[in-house]
């Protein structure tokens, strides 16, 4: 039997198409290989064939990525994040929550870390200035937004809250007792000491009655 011949693969993209995807659209070799179905190795060979200078293979900045959408993403909590590297409150990736930026623009100042921006209609993606209000603290925010509402706690969550409250009460009780002078003992300790003292006096009073007649010096008639 003769040697099995390889089937020819898809044709390489033209130099014009390859330059457009690689230099203008800034797609990676892997992305172009998937689009053209030529594979990564054949695309690299095509770059050499057309004399196109290859980019470095290290990580690229977000704005140079093929999926760059202008620096706006949605985090796992549903808030819109905006790319703002020079902002003091930017996270490690350089993003800031958009609703805080909008409120800072309205107030004309930077928000304090303790201030909370609330969405009035509850829609976290509605960052229109008319839908935003600022609270001085999270406690004030919760006091207003949870007023008249029953928290939807899970049984596990309610149990953790109960345990936390009990731990706080025990710690406060222990701290209060340790701060009291020695004279202020607990009621049980005072009762035990009083009972012991009274018992001692009673035993001392009854001791002569328990002595034998010979010990008292009396004789029988």
Q: pLDDT, tens digit, for every residue of 151-209?
A: 677 788 778 878 888 888 888 888 777 766 665 545 545 555 555 665 665 556 555 55
Q: Of 102, 124, 145, which residue constitutes the final position of a domain?
A: 145
Residue 104 near residue 117, CB atoms below 8 Å = no
**Same domain? 139 vs 87:** yes
Strand partners, 133: 118
Name the most confidently modeled range: 90-94, 126-130, 179-183: 126-130
User: Does the structure show a pLDDT above 80 at 148?
Assistant: no
Does residue 76 lie in a domain region? yes
Q: What is the pLDDT of residue 4?
A: 65
36 and 100 in a common domain:
no
In terms of domains, do 93 and 123 share one? yes
Q: Which residues are CB-contacts of 218 (< 8 A; sequence separation ≥ 6)?
A: none
Q: Is residue 114 a contact partner of residue 136, using CB atoms and an 8 Å limit?
A: yes
The answer to whether position 124 is within a domain reads yes
Residue 179 falls inside a structural domain: no
- The answer to whether position 154 is within a domain reads no
- Mark which of 124, 145, 166 sits at the end of a domain: 145
Which whole-number Å values give the CA distances from 40 to 33, 46, 74, 175, in the listed order?
A: 5, 10, 31, 69
Domain coverage including residue 42:
15-64
Q: Do 138 and 87 sit in the same domain of this protein? A: yes
Residues 83 and 133 in one domain: yes
Q: Helix, strand or coil for residue 213?
A: helix
> Which run of H or of E encompasses 156?
helix 155-179
On whether both 28 and 86 belong to a single domain, the answer is no
Same domain, residue pair 78 and 55 = no
Mean pLDDT of 43-67: 72
- Structural domain includes residue 34: yes
The answer as to whether 88 is a domain residue is yes
Name the maximum alpha-carbon separation found in the chain.
146
Identify whether residues 23 and 78 lie together within a single domain. no
Q: How many CB atoms lie within 10 A of CB 55?
A: 14
- β-pair partners for 119: 132
Final residue in a domain of this structure, among 85, 117, 145: 145
Q: Looking at the domain assignment, is residue 221 inside a domain?
A: no
Domain total in the chain:
2
For residue 70, the model assigns a pLDDT of: 60
d(CA 81, CA 94): 9
């Amino acid at each position: 039997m003769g040697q099995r011949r390889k089937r020819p693969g898809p044709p390489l993209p033209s130099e014009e198409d390859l330059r457009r995807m690689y230099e203008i659209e800034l797609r990676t070799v892997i992305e172009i290989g998937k689009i053209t179905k030529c594979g990564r190795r054949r695309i690299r060979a095509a770059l050499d064939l057309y004399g196109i200078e290859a980019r470095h293979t290290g990580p690229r900045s977000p704005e140079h990525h093929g999926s760059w959408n202008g620096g706006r993403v949605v985090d796992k909590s549903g808030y819109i994040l905006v790319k703002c590297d020079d902002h003091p409150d930017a996270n490690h990736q350089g993003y800031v929550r958009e609703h805080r930026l909008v409120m800072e623009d309205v107030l004309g100042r930077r928000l304090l870390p303790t201030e909370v921006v609330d969405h009035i209609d509850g829609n976290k993606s509605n960052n229109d200035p008319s839908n935003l209000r600022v609270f001085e603290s999270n406690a004030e925010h919760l006091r207003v937004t949870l007023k008249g509402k029953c928290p939807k706690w899970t049984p596990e969550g309610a149990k953790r809250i109960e345990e936390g409250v009990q731990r706080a009460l025990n710690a406060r009780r222990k701290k209060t007792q340790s701060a009291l002078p020695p004279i202020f003992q607990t009621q049980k300790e005072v009762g035990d000491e009083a009972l012991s003292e009274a018992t001692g006096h009673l035993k001392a009073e009854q001791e002569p009655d328990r002595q034998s007649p010979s010990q008292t010096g009396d004789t029988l008639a």
